[in-house]
């Protein structure tokens, strides 16, 4: 029986299918309907939820918990030691939710120090050769394109889209429904609803395509118009950003505008470089 036939049949059969040439620890916990392909290696501290498909030559080691209905394509490596010189051998975690797709050769490192976690939520797509460093937190419905290299401690909020062939600096925060264009140098935070692109990265405006797909512009036109106005105030006006935030806070803000202002205030308060500037902004 070929692997292709196993792949077609295993969800209908309420059992685990492990290829004869896979190396699965007898201490690993595999849910009903899990398929493990040829050459895959699964360590003793791994828990995998129902109906998850693990392709050939996948390696899952360390303390890893994976939810249900995930697809892990050939060559992916999940839960290996962090690429961090501070790592001293602590038992740390990788937590992955449900309905995610990890394409070929994706790498996800576990966290650095005891009690810490690398976290991936639900319904995310990580395309081929993307890397998720230690202590990262990825939300839900995130798309990370091919060859994206994400350093440690990066946070990517729900529904963000990260274009291909780029690097994200450690501790950067990507906001809700943000879009980062391919080959952008991302060394500062990208606020929610924003479109960033370039080398160095600069904000180009609002992520209008993402906003349209989420129907914010149709469901509440006043909210969308306010968001546009607040964005222009923050990033295109003659005011420094602290003054712009003070002016914006005098309005009765809709959820999207409040989220944008909250993110920027937190980004500045972190004590690092703050949010990515726009093309029109030199402050």
- Whole-angstrom distance, CA of residue 128 vs CA of residue 74: 10
pLDDT for 272:
63
Provide the pLDDT for residue 221.
93
Residue 185 parent element (H or E): strand 185-186
Give the rounded distance of the alpha carbon of 258 from its chain centre: 23
The rounded distance, in Å, linking the Cα atoms of 200 and 138 is 23
Angstrom distance (rounded) from CA 123 to CA 225: 30
Query: What are the angstrom distances between the C-alpha of 266 and each of 99, 175, 259, 271, 273?
Result: 31, 12, 11, 9, 11
Q: Which residue has the tokens 């602590």?
A: 90
Q: Name the fold adopted by 3-153.
A: UDP N-Acetylglucosamine Acyltransferase; domain 1 (2.160.10)
Domain ranges of the chain: 3-153, 211-269
Per-residue pLDDT of 70-106, as tens digits, reads 999 999 999 999 999 999 999 999 999 999 999 999 9
Per residue in 234-243, pLDDT tens? 999 999 999 9
Strand ranges of the sheet holding 202-206, from the earlier edge strand across to the other edge = 17-18, 35-36, 53-54, 71-72, 101-102, 125-126, 143-144, 161-162, 179-180, 194-197, 202-206
Q: 54, 34, 104: which is closest to 75 by C-alpha?
A: 104
201: which 2 tokens? 């990265």
pLDDT over 90 (residue 273): no
Task: Give the span between the Cα atoms of 206 and 190, in whole angstroms.
Answer: 11
Cβ neighbours of 45 (radius 10 Å): 18
What percentage of the chain has pLDDT greater than the value 90?
Answer: 88
As a whole number of Å, the end-to-end CA separation of the chain is 64
Q: Give the model confidence (pLDDT) of 173-228 as tens digits.
A: 999 999 999 999 999 999 999 999 999 999 999 999 999 998 887 888 999 999 99
Contact 126, 96 (CB under 8 A): no
Global pTM reads 0.93
d(CA 139, CA 278): 25
């Amino acid at each position: 029986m070929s692997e292709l036939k196993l792949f077609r049949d295993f969800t209908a059969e309420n059992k685990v299918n492990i290829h004869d040439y896979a190396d699965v620890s007898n201490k690993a916990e595999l849910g009903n309907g899990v398929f493990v392909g040829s050459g895959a290696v699964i360590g003793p501290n791994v828990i995998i939820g129902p109906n998850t498909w693990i392709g050939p030559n996948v390696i899952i080691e360390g303390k890893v918990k994976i939810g249900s209905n995930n697809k892990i394509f050939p060559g992916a490596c999940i839960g290996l030691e962090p690429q961090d010189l501070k790592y001293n051998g602590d038992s740390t975690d990788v937590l992955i939710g449900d309905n995610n797709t990890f394409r070929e050769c994706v790498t996800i490192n576990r966290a650095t120090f005891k009690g810490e976690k690398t976290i991936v939520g639900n319904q995310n797509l990580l395309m081929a050769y993307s890397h998720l460093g230690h202590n990262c937190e990825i939300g839900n419905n995130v798309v990370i394109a091919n060859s994206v290299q994400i350093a440690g401690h990066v946070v990517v909020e729900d529904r963000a889209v990260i274009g291909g062939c780029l690097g994200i600096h450690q501790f950067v925060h990507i906001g809700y429904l943000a879009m980062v264009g391919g080959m952008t140098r991302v060394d500062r935070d990208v606020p929610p609803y924003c479109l960033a692109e370039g080398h160095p990265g600069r904000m180009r405006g609002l992520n209008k395509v993402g906003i349209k797909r989420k129907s914010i512009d149709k469901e509440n036109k006043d909210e969308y118009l306010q968001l546009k106005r607040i964005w222009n105030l923050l990033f295109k006006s003659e005011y420094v950003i602290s003054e712009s935030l003070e002016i914006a806070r005098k309005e009765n803000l809709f959820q999207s505008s409040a989220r944008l202002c909250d993110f920027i205030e937190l980004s500045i308060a972190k004590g690092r470089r703050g949010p990515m500037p726009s093309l029109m902004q030199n402050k």
